[in-house]
Amino acid sequence: MCEGPTRRVPRAAALTEASELERRVGAAARLAVEAAAELVPAFKAGVFWVGLSALRDPALVMQTIAQTLGAKDGLAEHISERELLLLLDNFEQVVESAPELSELLERCPYLKLLVTSRELLRIRGEPDAVKRLSDQFGRAMPPAPRKARARK
C-alpha cells in the first residue's frame, strides 16, 4: 500500500464518527471521495464510486456494484484478481447486504473497500480497522448513532 495517499483515509474516517455525525454526513462522503481520489495510483484496475443512497433493498447492492463495474458474468469473476478500490457511499440503508461484501472480499484477494455508513457492517476485519483508528487517535471511537430506518 502506498504510504502517502493512505494517510488521509484514517483522518476521513475519524471525522465521520464525531458526535456531530448527523450534520457531517455530506462531509463524510466528500472526504471519502477525496481519499479515494488520492488512492487512484495505488489501484491498477481503478477506483470506483458506487452511490447507494437511492437503494432501499439490500438484495440490489451486488447488482448495483456489478452495473457500475460493467460486470456481465458475475461480480467476483469480473473482479477476480484485479487491484481495485470500491467506494460504497451511504451503505447504512442496505447494511443487511454486508455479508455479501465479506464473501466478495474473500473471493477477490486484491479488492479493497472504502465504505461510508452510519451503521457498523459487522464483517470480518472491521473491528481491527476500528481499533487501529482508536489507537491512532488515542481514544475509543463512539458508537454511531442509530437512526430509525424508513420502512417501505
| Predicted TM-score of the model (pTM) | 0.68
**Using one digit for the tens of pLDDT, what is the confidence trace for 89-110?**
999 999 999 999 999 999 999 9
C-alpha cell of residue 110: 486484491
The reported pLDDT for the residue numbered 65 is: 96
The reported pLDDT for the residue numbered 78 is: 97
Considering 9-13, 62-66, 124-128, 138-142, the range whose residues carry the highest mean pLDDT is 62-66
The reported pLDDT for the residue numbered 133 is: 56
The reported pLDDT for the residue numbered 59 is: 96
CB 85 within 8 A of CB 114: yes
C-alpha cell of residue 116: 461510508
Residue extents of the structural domains in the chain: 3-137
DSSP track, 9-68: HHHHHHHHTSTTHHHHHHHHHHHHHHHHHHHGGG-TTEEEEEE-TT---GGGHHHHHHHH
**Using one digit for the tens of pLDDT, what is the confidence trace for 42-86?**
999 999 999 999 999 999 999 999 999 999 989 999 999 999 999
Under DSSP, is residue 142 helix (H, G, I), strand (E, B) or coil? Answer: coil
